[in-house]
Structure 1
Amino acid sequence: MPRTRRSPGSPDAVKLLVATANPHKVTELRHTLPGWQIEAWQAPEPPVEDGDTFEENARIKARHARAYAPSDVWVAGEDSGIEAAGLGGRPGVESARWAEDGVAALLAALAGGSDRHARYVCAIVAISPGGDELVATGTLEGVVADEPRGSEGFGYDPIMVPVGETRTVAELGDAWKAEHSHRARAARALASDLEERPW
């Protein structure tokens, strides 16, 4: 399918404001989409993230940003976390708020259990200056390691071992994440959707 020629209003021609206080997320998005001008942005007051899914929380962030951000730029909300099969999908949308030390809490919760399968989930909702909403998701399957390993990445990366790998995401490093992470997959899905639309 031929690509649609994009206008100067598309995210790779102007700044994309990502509603987040986490600089690591913006860094990952920049690594995955180097042609985009991506900046972290925060509203005067943070939104209440009370969604039941990652997509719902990403939409809450994006719509909140759209209400406050300059009207001539794209905005995006992102929500992500880890779902442990042995815990019925927890911590899920509570990943960032589950415990003061989420890694230690997850290891403790899984101690003695036989099912250590888990997956990372990322949802991105982007809103155009005209109010059009795009949704993209990405996942990364793996297992939870017995102990933290590695120094790169953030969050649960030191204990997440992707399928087909023997090292944790924190050991695999930023270059690997830019190609294979749940966030990278969601970002590329978003970019692909944008390529096909007549903005």
Structure 2
Amino acid sequence: MTAPRTLALASRNPHKLEELLRALPGWEIALVGRDDPPPENGATFEDNARIKARWGRLHAPPGSWAAGEDSGIEATALGGAPGVHSARWAAGDPVGRMLEALAGEEERGVRYVCVVVAVGPDGGEVVARGTLEGTIAREAAGSAGFGFDPIFVPVGETRTVAQLGDDWKRTHSHRAQAAAALALAVS
């Protein structure tokens, strides 16, 4: 396969688009978000990413790749939850919800998980994964990023992802790792 130059991302999330654009320089990536997105009812991140990618393939321009991405956070103290339910679980307040869920917990290990499924113009499929291990801080810090970034401290760091900033995320985030794996898989 040759590297795609155009990618239709089946999402309505501009933050995910921005991260992928930074992680895949030289690629043309556009959102294929419509008012009728498919239900994210898969049991795994890969299931949900595949549902979105196949839906995106139906709406992507001819000749381009279509990708679906699913990501979330898994907390050890919560038995791996919220996992694929991260966005719904957070209910618009990811920082507050996670701090509340881990109040009084000593075990604060977490990991971000991202899976990208890309479907080529010929229907061929590529699956790429990325993870970022870390811990949950006791209070929010930093203004960059989104979601759980203000409380997520990556392994080997003392600052949150929100403090480390977008340049750091470009090469270290779970989404950046998945994007790099995708680029290798289709080159």
TM range, smaller chain: over 0.9
Q: CA deviation at 1:40?
A: 1.3
- Aligned equivalent of 2:107: 115
The structure whose Rg is larger is 1
* Letter aligned with residue 60 of structure 2: A
Secondary structure in structure 2 of the residue aligned to 1:173: helix
Q: Decide whether the 8 Å contact of 2:19 with 2:176 is kept in 1.
A: yes
1:79 to 66, 70, 73: 70
**Which deviates more, 101-110 or 155-164?**
101-110
Give distance in 2, aligned partners of 1:70 and 1:179.
28
Moved over 4 A (4+): none
2:28 to 20, 37, 40: 37
Query: TM-score, normalized by length of structure 1?
Result: 0.90
- Aligned equivalent of 1:11: 4
- Aligned equivalent of 1:181: 173
1:51 to 42, 45, 68: 42
Q: CA deviation at 1:44?
A: 4.7
- The alignment's C-alpha RMSD in Å is 1.1
Q: CA offsets per residue over residues 50-89 of structure 1, 9 Å max, x none?
A: 0111111000000111123233211000000100000001
Counterparts of 1:118-129 in structure 2, within 5 Å, are 118-129=110-121
Q: Decide whether the 8 Å contact of 2:12 with 2:34 is kept in 1.
A: no
- Aligned equivalent of 2:15: 24
Give distance in 2, aligned partners of 1:82 and 1:45.
26
**Where do 5+ consecutive residues of structure 2 fail to align?**
none
Secondary structure in structure 1 of the residue aligned to 2:139: coil
Q: Decide whether the 8 Å contact of 1:43 with 1:69 is kept in 2.
A: no
Between the two proteins, the alignment pairs up a number of residues equal to 186
Give distance in 2, aligned partners of 1:145 and 1:63.
37
2:157 to 142, 152, 165: 165
Query: TM-score, normalized by length of structure 2?
Result: 0.96
User: Identity, % of aligned pairs?
Assistant: 60
Q: Decide whether the 8 Å contact of 1:80 with 1:120 is kept in 2.
A: yes
Q: Decide whether the 8 Å contact of 2:75 with 2:108 is kept in 1.
A: yes
2:145 to 131, 147, 153: 153
